[in-house]
Amino acid sequence: MKKHKQKRKRFEKSFLKWNNYSIGRKYITVFFLTVFFFIVAGVIVFIQMFQGNKSLEDVEVTSSLVSDMSEMAAIIQTKDVQISDFLLTNSKRYIEAFEQYQAELDQLIKKVKPQLQTEKQRTTFNNIIKNDARVNEIFYDEVLKYVDMKSDYMALSTRNQTSELRAHTIQLVDELMDMVKKEEAKSVISAKSNLKISTIALVIALPTVIMIGVMLMIYVSRKISSHLKKVVSITSEIAKGNLAVSDMNDVGNDEIGQLAQALNRMKGNMTNILSKVANASKVLTNQSNALNQSARDIKEGSEQIATTMEELSSGTETQANRTSDLAEKMTHFVQKVTLSEVNGSEIESHSNHVLQLTEEGTTLMNQSVKQMNQIDTIVKESVKKVQRLDAQSNEISNLVSVIKDISDQTNLLSLNAAIEAARAGEHGRGFAVVAEEVRKLSDQVAKSVGEITRIVNNIQEETDEVVHSLNQGYDEVKSGTNQIEKTGKTFSVIHSSITDMVTKIKSISTYLKEMSMTSDNMNHLISDIAAISEESAAGVEQAAASAEQSSNAMEEITRNASDLADLAIQLQDELKVFKFVSFFDQSK
């Protein structure tokens, strides 16, 4: 069921698509369909004739193949005769003749082998080649050998083998020829069948194609004719004034369909226009009467408006005078605001300069804090180095004490040596000289040690004083660093406050500029209001005069409204000629 519906939908879709074609395209489509059917019929006939021709070519090939096979059988027979003659005469020319016939046989084998079609044919042909090769082998390897040996019995024995092979080979050739002849017969039958089919197809196809083309042409012409008759009928009804005739639908989108659609639109537009005109004439009649009454009411209102306009004229003059005073005061106010704007700009400029100086002072203060920190570090290192120098001076004092003790011991030893040398007499004289030199050296060392001790003591005293001074300087530097850091923080607070002040001054300056611009705009607006008030006063006076003229014009409008009502009634009488469904009735 679903498949049937789908097929029906596809058919309807194709039918609608066909209706949308233009008339020329429909006739061209029918023409090309007819040509297509002619081409299809021609192709079918051509294929059948081509197959018949191919079958005839196959017959020619098989005939040539049978002829070649007959020639092969004759050559095989002749080769066997050459063997027999050679055995009888023992002449070399029969060997040459055998080889010549073998060459001809090889040429035929090369020619025939590619033309074989079935596996059975190729198998039989291979057996023929094997038998021929066996005959050649017997002739060259056995017959010639036995003839040379003059062994007639063995030569005749091998001759019998070649005869049997020759008979079997010719039998195989005959079988192969029968196979090929059967294929030839099939090709002949196929050629006759194809020619018969092509003749029948040609006889049937041509009338069928002509009939289909004529039927398609008649179908298209009838469709076009029926649609044209509908268009003519509806056009005649519209010409008679009958706009209630039904629309033309389902006529496609060709030239006639487009004409029908245009006719439908024209009928619809005429119906709508006439319907609107009829309704408008009714409304016009009613509104003409209402207009007549309204004109009388407007005349009375115009008289009241004239009185009111005189009062408005007096009030407008007073408003214009007050507005002029306000404009003068606003001008003075704008001048003061402009002066405030100039002062604000100068304050903004000075505050920016102060902000710049504060930023420079902050930068210098930060640099001073960095330098004081560096001085603090240097003094601290100096104190440490002097303290290390004092410690090393103490070590030198200790070394000097040790050297002094050694000098005293040396001096004592030299005295003892001198005493011992004196006791030794003449033998200890040299030793006494050495002891004297050692004592002198000890005295010099003692003097040097005393001098070093004095210098070291002086260094220690100076070092203590330097350490004390550096400690005091370090305390002062530390105190100065703290003071500078506090000053830097104070500068930061001052910089932040001045930055905030500059921002606010800029805002005030901006507000003053905006106020100045707004004041200028207000001044212009007030001047415009004053001018408008003066113009309004003049306009009110003109309006009063116009109100009097309107009163006179209303009398003329009343007369014209009466004439318009009479024309609307006449239009309704004219529209009764047409028959149509009202546009408003359609909307209901």
Angle made by CA atoms 222, 227, 233, in degrees to the nearest 5 = 125
What is the residue whose two structure tokens read 């004529």?
A: 214
How far apart CA 311 and CA 305 sit, in angstroms, is 10
Segment 5-51, tens digit of pLDDT: 565 555 455 545 556 666 677 668 767 777 777 687 677 766 766 66
Integer CA distances (angstroms), 429 to 412, 415, 418, in order: 19, 14, 9
**What proportion of the chain, given as a percentage, has pLDDT over 70?**
56
Res. 585: pLDDT tops 60: no
The listed CATH number (1.10.357.10, 3.40.920.10, 2.60.40.10, 1.10.287.950) that belongs to domain 281-575: 1.10.287.950
Name the residue with higher pLDDT: 326 or 146.
Answer: 146
Q: Which residues of 244-257 are buried (b: 16+ CB within 10 A; e: fewer)?
A: ebeebeebbebebb
Write down the pLDDT at residue 44.
73
pLDDT at 107: 92
Helices and strands (H and E) in the chain: how many:
9, 0
Q: Which of 17-21, 261-265, 516-520 has the lowest mean pLDDT?
A: 17-21
Sequential DSSP letters for 408-423:
HHHHHHHHHHHHHHHH
Compute the distance between CA of residue 421 and CA of residue 408 in angstroms, rounded to an integer: 20
Residue 584 — very low, low, confident or very high, per pLDDT cuts 50/70/90? very low
Confidence at 2, pLDDT banded by 50, 70, 90 = low
Phi, psi of 150 (to 5 degrees): 60, 35
Give the C-alpha separation, 38 to 28, whole Å. 15
Q: Name the residue among 132, 150, 166 with its Cα closest to residue 87.
A: 150
pLDDT digits (tens, 9 = 90+) for 549-558: 765 665 676 6
Q: What is the pLDDT of residues 391-426, one digit of tens each?
A: 776 777 777 777 777 777 777 777 777 787 777 777
Q: Are 473 and 372 in contact (CB under 8 A)?
A: no
Query: Could you tell me the two tokens for 307?
Result: 């009185």
The highest-confidence range among 13-22, 223-232, 455-464, by mean pLDDT, is: 455-464
What tokens does 133 get? Answer: 């090769």
Q: Map residue 160 onto helix, strand or coil.
A: helix
Q: Is the distance from CB of 248 to CB of 230 less than 8 angstroms?
A: yes
pLDDT at 6: 60
For every residue of 475-489, DSSP letters joined together read: HHHHHHHHHHHHHHH
Query: What confidence tier does 123 reach under pLDDT thresholds 50, 70, 90?
Result: very high
* pLDDT, position 327: 64
For the chain, the domains span 24-221, 281-575
Mean pLDDT of 349-364: 73
User: What's the whole-number mean pLDDT along residues 78-94?
Assistant: 85
Position with higher pLDDT, 117 vs 564: 117
Same-fold call for 24-221 versus 281-575: no
- pLDDT at 11 (0 to 100): 46
Tokens of 169: 């080979």
pLDDT of residue 288: 62
The correct answer on CATH 1.20.120 for the domain covering 24-221 is: yes
Q: How many angstroms separate the CA atoms of 120 and 176, rounded?
A: 9
At 583 the pLDDT is 42
Helix 119-138 to helix 23-89 angle, to the nearest 10 degrees?
A: 20
Mean pLDDT of all residues in 176-203: 76
Which of 283, 330, 281, 248 shows the shortest CA–CA distance to 519? 330
Q: For position 130, what pLDDT does the model report?
A: 93
Q: What is the pLDDT of residue 457?
A: 79
Mean predicted confidence (pLDDT) in 244-263? 66
Decide: 403 and 445 in contact? Cβ < 8 Å: yes
Q: Tell me: the pLDDT tens digits for 479-508?
A: 777 777 777 677 677 667 767 766 876 776
Confidence of residue 285 (pLDDT cuts 50, 70, 90): low
Higher per-residue pLDDT: 291 or 110: 110
CA 78 to chain centre: 86
Higher pLDDT, 50 or 342: 342
Q: How far apart are CA 128 and CA 106, in angstroms?
A: 12
Residue 532 has pLDDT above 60, yes or no: yes
CB 392 within 8 A of CB 413: no
**DSSP assignment letter at 428:** G
Alpha-carbon separation of residue 571 from 105, 279, 287, 296, 495 (angstroms): 117, 11, 15, 26, 93
Q: What is the rounded distance in angstroms from the CA atom of residue 524 to the CA atom of residue 531?
A: 10
Q: What is the pLDDT of residue 138?
A: 87
Q: Report the candidate in 333, 296, 280, 252 with the shortest Cα–Cα distance to residue 14.
A: 252
Residue length of the chain: 588
Residue 587: band (very low, low, confident or very high) from pLDDT cuts 50, 70, 90? very low
Average pLDDT, the chain: 72
| Residue 314 reports pLDDT greater than 70 | no
pLDDT computed for residue 199 by the predictor: 77
Phi first, then psi: what are they for 117, rounded to 5°? -110, -40
CB 585 within 8 A of CB 272: no
Question: Which residue has tokens 């330097």?
Answer: 466
